[in-house]
Amino acid sequence: MVKIGVMGTGYVGLVHGAVLAGHGFPVTCMDVDAGKIGRLSRGQSPIYEPGLDELLAAGLRAGTLSFTASAKDVIRGSDVLFIAVGTPAKEDGSANLDHVQDVVQAIGRYANGPKTVVCKSTMPVGTARSIARYLDGALKARNAPYRIDVASNPEFLRQGKAVSDSLAPSRVVVGTESEDAKRMLQTVYAAHLRQEVPFLFTNWETAEMVKYASNSFLAVKISFVNELALLAEKVGANIGDIAAGMGLDERISPHFLQAGPGYGGSCFPKDTQALLDVGRRNGEELFVVSAAAAANEKQKRRMADKIAEALAFGGSLKGKTVAVLGLSFKPETDDIRYAPSYDIINGLLSRGAAVKAYCPQGMKQAKRQWTEWDGIVAYCESEAECAQHADALVLMTEWPQFRDLGWDRIARSMRGGHFFDLRNQFADDPRIRRLFRYYPVGSNEPAYTLEEAQ
C-alpha cells in the first residue's frame, strides 16, 4: 500500500492524514512542533474539529497513523508527501513561504527514492513549478537516479466541517506535468472518497489559481451582500429577504449571501491579500478583490459604530458593559485567526466600553494570542455569566448552542436590553424582539421592544 507522509499537522494536515489513515493507508504526520507531536502520539488533538478525536483514536489503535518530529524519517518512509504547512500573510500581504521552503529543502536533502510531492497548502501561483525545479536540481546535484514528481492539489475544506469535507469534497483539483503523479493521486483519492467526486487535471499554475480564485470569489460574495446590508438599513429594506430573492436565481445561488460582521478566518483575509499581491507582481491590479477586502474592513468598523450609536448616540461607551457571545471566526472551531470579534471588541474597548466574552471553544486561543486584553476583557464561564448586568449583548458567532439560552432569564439578568445579532440568527424570532431591543444586520425593522411599546 502507498505510504503517506504529511508535513504539518494543522487543520489541513492533521485532518487529511487522519482521514487517509482511516482508509487503511499507513500515514505518518510530521510537525516541527515537538509538543504537538507528543500530544498527538497520545491521541490528544491540539485543535477542535468535529469527528477528529474519533479518527485520531481509531488511526492510533489500528496502527495506521503515527506521528514524528523528524523530517528525515517521514521523507524517507513515504511514497507520497503532502505539504500542509502554514502559508501565513506577510506584512505586505504576500504569502510567507518560509515553512514551505524548509519542507522542500528537507525533501531535497533526505529523499532516498522516487516520491510524489503534493502541495496541499495554499501557495501563490508559480510555487509548485519552482519547487519542481528546486527538487530536480537537488537530485541532480546528488546524482540521484530517480525523480520526484510535484503536484499542486489545493485543499477546499472548511473548518468546523473539515472531516466531512475531506471525505466528500466538492472537487479534487490536481495540477501537474507528470502522468505518474496524476495516477498516484487518483489511487489515493479513489480509496478514500465516499462518493463520485469531479477531478480537474490542469497545469501547476491553474491549480494554484483555482484555490485563490475560489476563496476570493466567496469573499467577494460576502462583501457584496454586506455592503448591500448597510444600504438596506438606510433605505428600509431587509437583507435576509434580498439575499433570499437573489439566491432563488440558480446562477447566483443562495450560498455565501449571509450578511454578518465581515468575513474572518485564516484563509479569506490572507488569500485575498495574496492574490492581490500576485496581481501587483504581474502588473494587474485586481479591483474587485481589492474592493471586497476594503469592504470587509469597513464592515467590521461599522459593527462597532452601530453598537456605539445605539448605546450612546455614537459617543463614548464609558460606563457601558457589552457582553460578546462567540470569539471564534465561525462556529464549531476554536480558531480565532483574523476573527471579526477581535476588531469589533477593540472598537468597543477604544470607545471605553467594558467587555465580557464567552465562546464555547475560542477562549483558550484568545487568552493565549490576544494578550493585550489580559485583565481588560472579562472571560466568562457561561453565556448566562457573560450576559449578567450587561447593557448590551452581541451575538458575534452563530454557535448552535446560542440558539436557545433561556432568553427570558438572560433578559432579566441584564442591566440594559440591547441585543445586537450580527449573524441575523433571530431575525424571524418574535420572542427575541419581545424581550430585547433587537438589532439585526441589514434591516432597520423596529428595534424597540413590544413590552416597551405598550
Ligand X SMILES: NC(=O)C1=CN([C@@H]2O[C@H](COP(=O)(O)OP(=O)(O)OC[C@H]3O[C@@H](n4cnc5c(N)ncnc54)[C@H](O)[C@@H]3O)[C@@H](O)[C@H]2O)C=CC1
- Which residue among the candidates 29, 119, 267, 386 is catalytic per the annotation? 267
Q: Does 84 bind ligand X (CB under 6 A)?
A: yes
**Per-residue x/- track, 79-118, ligand UGA (CB under 6 A):** ----------------------------------------
Interactions with ligand UGA, residue window 176-215 (CB under 6 A): 215
Interface pick for ligand X out of 4, 7, 117, 292 (rule CB under 6 A)? 7
- Name which of 53 and 385 has its Cβ closer to ligand X: 53
Q: Does 30 bind ligand X (CB under 6 A)?
A: yes
- Name which of 140 and 251 has its Cβ closer to ligand UGA: 251
Minimum CB separation of residue 120 from ligand UGA in Å reads 11
Task: Let me know: does 15 contact 54? Beta carbons within 8 Å.
Answer: no
Minimum CB separation of residue 282 from ligand X in Å reads 21
Q: Is residue 380 flagged as an active site residue?
A: no
Cell of 96: 510567507
Interface pick for ligand X out of 45, 78, 87, 238 (rule CB under 6 A)? 87
Task: Give me the amino acid identity at 149.
Answer: D
Q: Does 157 bind ligand UGA (CB under 6 A)?
A: yes
Interface pick for ligand X out of 28, 127, 266, 273 (rule CB under 6 A)? 266
Interface pick for ligand UGA out of 29, 184, 257, 327 (rule CB under 6 A)? 257
Q: Which does 411 bind (CB under 5 to 8 A by kind): ligand X, ligand UGA, none?
A: none
Interactions with ligand X, residue window 109-138 (CB under 6 A): 121-122
- Name which of 67 and 329 has its Cβ closer to ligand UGA: 329
Q: According to the 3-state scheme, what is the secondary structure of the chain?
A: CCCEEEECCCHHHHHHHHHHHHCCCCEEEECCCHHHHHHHHCCCCCCCCCCHHHHHHHHHHHCCEEEECCHHHHHHCCCEEEECCCCCECCCCCECCHHHHHHHHHHHHHCCCCEEEEECCCCCCCHHHHHHHHHHHHHHHCCCCCCEEEEECCCCCCCCCHHHHHHCCCCEEEEECCHHHHHHHHHHHHHHCCCCCCEEEECHHHHHHHHHHHHHHHHHHHHHHHHHHHHHHHHCCCHHHHHHHHHCCCCCCCCCCCCCCCCCCCCHHHHHHHHHHHHHHCCCCCHHHHHHHHHHHHHHHHHHHHHHHHHHCCCCCCCCEEEEECCCCCCCCCCCCCCHHHHHHHHHHHCCCEEEEECCCCHHHHHHHCHHHCCCCEECCCHHHHHCCCCEEEECCCCHHHCCCCHHHHHHHCCCCEEEECCCCCCCCHHHHHHCEEECCCCCCCCCCHHHHC
Q: Does 260 bind ligand UGA (CB under 6 A)?
A: yes
Minimum CB separation of residue 299 from ligand UGA in Å reads 9
**Per-residue x/- track, 318-337, ligand UGA (CB under 6 A):** -----------xx-------
Applying CB under 6 A, which part among 31-39, 108-116, 153-161, 230-238 lies near ligand UGA?
Answer: 153-161
- Name which of 42 and 412 has its Cβ closer to ligand X: 42
* Site of interaction with ligand X (CB under 6 A): 7-13, 30-33, 36, 84-87, 99, 102-103, 121-122, 155, 157, 159, 266-267
Residues marked active site are found at: 267
* Site of interaction with ligand UGA (CB under 6 A): 122, 155-159, 215, 218, 222, 256-258, 260, 263-265, 267-268, 329-330
